[in-house]
Amino acid sequence: MAASRTCVMGILLLLCWTSVGDAKYVKYKDPMQPVDVRVSDLMKRMTLAEKIGQMAQIERSVASALVMKDYFIGSVLSGGGSVPAPQASAEDWINMINDFQKGALTTRLGIPMIYGIDAVHGNNNVYNATIFPHNIGLGSTRDPDLVKRIGSATALEVRATGITYAFAPCIAVCRDPRWGRCYESYSEDHEIVQAMTQIIPGLQGDLPTNYSKGIPYVGGKDKVAACAKHFVGDGGTHKGIDENNTIINRHELLSIHMPAYYNSIIDGVSTIMVSYSSWNGVKMHANRDLITGFLKNTLHFKGMVISDWQGIDRITSPPGANYTYSVQAGVNAGIDMVMIPYDYTSFIGNLTTLVNNNVVSMSRIDDAVSRILRLKFTLGLFENPFADLSLADQLGKKEHRELAREAVRRSLVLLKNGKSNKEEVLPLSKKAQKILVAGSHADNLGYQCGGWTIEWQGGDGNITVGTTILDAIKSTVDPATSVVYSENPDPTFVESGNFSYAIVVVGETPYTEFAGDSFNLTIPEPGPSTIKNVCGTVKCVVVIVSGRPVVIEPYVPVMDALVAAWLPGTEGQGVADVLFGDYGFTGKLSRTWFKSVDQLPMNVGDKHYDPLFPFGFGLVTKPGTAA
């Protein structure tokens, strides 16, 4: 049916072109032509200004229909928290994006723009979107099929807002939890990260039979272009410092940090984003050996290479110290599209001068632009440049929230269950007379979701639509059970409360990137005080909400049970599902849980491996309701 519809469309377009005055048949506008033929035909018609414009990706706050037209801009993005309006609807997003697209289509050649957004755990910039667990939790499920289904749901919610390009997945192999992006990594083990690249066919669609490896693929209007990031070694920086230097030999780089890129390319990933970090002192954004030599020439990646946000600026220290050199080094290294994101006139002016002076070759420009155009043809943007409301009902859809809830319960890792093997605490009784729920993270959706949620750094409180862990507990227990919430109760309150048991939910406050770098990895107060005040007095289950392992060894003896919930997202009901035995615990640690930060970095297989809880650890319980 789809093929015949495409055929009819092609015939109609041909009739239209041949019937309008002196209009001539144009190959690149013909959807019946092979993509490479369309790319070649369009490239022959483009001026240098039109080509360089295609290489620019700008932030929505500086974009307009006029800017798109005058500078031939190839792409627009939303940075973290950059939205058309507070609590913007799908229609608000679509109207904004279509306005930019109208500007792009009024250019001489009518090349559509592509809109990109960070959709790293669902369409996370968008109010009312389903927010899935961050990658560290998904790694604990060990389930590539689950991750693929999450990719499919995310693609629908991204398309619901008119967006065709998601900057996901992050396939970093985090080797040091002090790194502020560690929760964006599925695991310290590259094999788990490789398995989880199944999110790519979820986002983009399964490759057709006999599809050429290494060529981008997007399988229809309900799918998006994906982006494997950050190439390469971002999870191995010295002391876990964000954007720092990864100091390892080539064999270690290729054996630990590169393998997931092999899987991504085989799965037809459309784009790859370059890392801010350096490898043995060489900035990745300027590393021609790895970007052009290895990624493009050795691995035969035919997709588009994109910079990170102001990534080329940071080639120099301080950033932007010699912008002309940054443009030269980044483009000559093999970057095809530059995430500028604001000062696009400087980028365009500098690159134009560099080409005219033969510092950047025309063949390098043509390689970049051909990759960009191939992606746009593959996405079907030339035939369907405008977004519509046909998928608007997919945003925050009930089925997607149920999938997120499933992901939450399967990501939870049970680290302790009773002070001895004969005193198992979990599952908890739903019919207890009186329950205490305590902790800063029990009734805080923003804390539950973590960074990259509504705002770049995340937020505090009811920042979007979802279910807090406290709400989930209340809806799970027997109606006759009294649930008392006190964020940070003192021991006297706990002693006098006559509670059957307590659930303490504490953890890290939200952060992203360098703002999350930590050398102490402690739970901020009042978390530790809440654990001591409650667990020293009444039987307690502690739920840790965090983006990585944190310091807990001093408190473990007073806990009756301990659960790592990671950053579960909007569907807190998944936590209650497992605490109360509707489902069993099945998650396994995707990272080593250290005793002390003095041990870091420490990864499974290291010679002096002495963890608090080893990689792969996770107690298992069977579904069942406690008495």
| Residue 513 appears among annotated catalytic residues | yes
| pLDDT of res. 627 | 52
Of the residues 308, 313, 443, 517, only one is catalytic, namely 308
Beta-carbon count within 10 A of 99 CB: 14
| pLDDT of res. 345 | 98
Contact 267, 200 (CB under 8 A): yes
Q: Which two tokens stand for residue 423?
A: 């005193």
First-to-final CA distance of the chain: 56
Q: Which two tokens stand for residue 346?
A: 């400087």
Give the CATH number of domain 46-394.
3.20.20.300
Contact 472, 573 (CB under 8 A): yes
| Three state DSSP letters for 582-621 | CCCCCCCCCCCECCCHHHCCCCCCCCCCCCCECCCCCECC
Residue 366 CA: distances (Å) to CA of 48, 256, 303, 372: 10, 33, 14, 10
Identify the segments of the chain with pLDDT beneath 70: 1-23, 625-627
- The pLDDT tens digits of the residues spanning 189-234 come to 999 999 999 999 999 999 999 898 889 999 999 999 999 999 999 9
State the architecture of 412-613 in CATH terms: 3-Layer(aba) Sandwich (3.40)
Of the residues 157, 184, 267, 513, only one is catalytic, namely 513
> Which residues, listed in sequence order, are joined to residue 76 by a DSSP beta bridge?
58, 115
Q: What is the C-alpha to C-alpha distance for residues 138 and 411, in angstroms, rounded to an integer?
A: 6
Q: Which two tokens stand for residue 91?
A: 């229609």
Positions of CATH 3.20.20.300 in the chain:
46-394
Contact 285, 229 (CB under 8 A): no
Q: What angle do CA 546, 339, 272 make, to 5 degrees?
A: 70
Q: What is the C-alpha to C-alpha distance for residues 218 and 613, in angstroms, rounded to an integer?
A: 41
Q: Is 44 exposed, middle or buried (0-12, 13-18, 19+ CB in 10 A)?
A: exposed
| pLDDT of res. 213 | 82
| pLDDT of res. 23 | 65
With a CB cutoff of 8 Å and minimum separation 6, the contacts of 93 are 83, 84, 126, 161, 162, 163
Q: Which two tokens stand for residue 176?
A: 């040091």
Sheet holding 482-486, edge to edge: 413-417, 561-564, 540-545, 501-507, 434-438, 482-486
| pLDDT of res. 626 | 65
Contact 316, 290 (CB under 8 A): no
With a CB cutoff of 8 Å and minimum separation 6, the contacts of 536 are 491, 558
What are the b/e assignments for 378-395, b being 16+ CB within 10 Å? bbbbbeebebeeebbebb
Which 3 state secondary structure label does DSSP give 276?
A: coil
What are the b/e assignments for 397-418, b being 16+ CB within 10 Å? beebbebbbbbbbbbbbbbbbe
Q: What is the C-alpha to C-alpha distance for residues 247 and 615, in angstroms, rounded to an integer?
A: 23
Positions of CATH 3.40.50.1700 in the chain:
412-613
- The pLDDT tens digits of the residues spanning 334-360 come to 999 999 999 999 999 999 999 999 999
What are the b/e assignments for 338-377, b being 16+ CB within 10 Å? bbbbeebeebbebbbebbeeeebeeebbebbbbbbbbbbb
| Residue 308 appears among annotated catalytic residues | yes
Closest to 519 (Cα-Cα) out of 189, 238, 252: 238
Contact 235, 179 (CB under 8 A): yes
Beta-carbon count within 10 A of 431 CB: 13
Interstrand relation of 413-417 and 561-564 (parallel, antiparallel or unpaired): antiparallel
| pLDDT of res. 13 | 46
Q: What is the pTM of this model?
A: 0.95
> Is-cis flag, bond preceding 169, omega within 30?
yes
| pLDDT of res. 624 | 84
Q: What angle do CA 149, 132, 277 make, to 5 degrees?
A: 100
Closest to 242 (Cα-Cα) out of 438, 447, 451: 451
Contact 443, 469 (CB under 8 A): yes
Q: What is the C-alpha to C-alpha distance for residues 619 and 616, in angstroms, rounded to an integer?
A: 10
| pLDDT of res. 16 | 45
| Helices and strands: H and E segment counts in the chain | 21, 17
Q: What is the C-alpha to C-alpha distance for residues 393 and 553, in angstroms, rounded to an integer?
A: 46
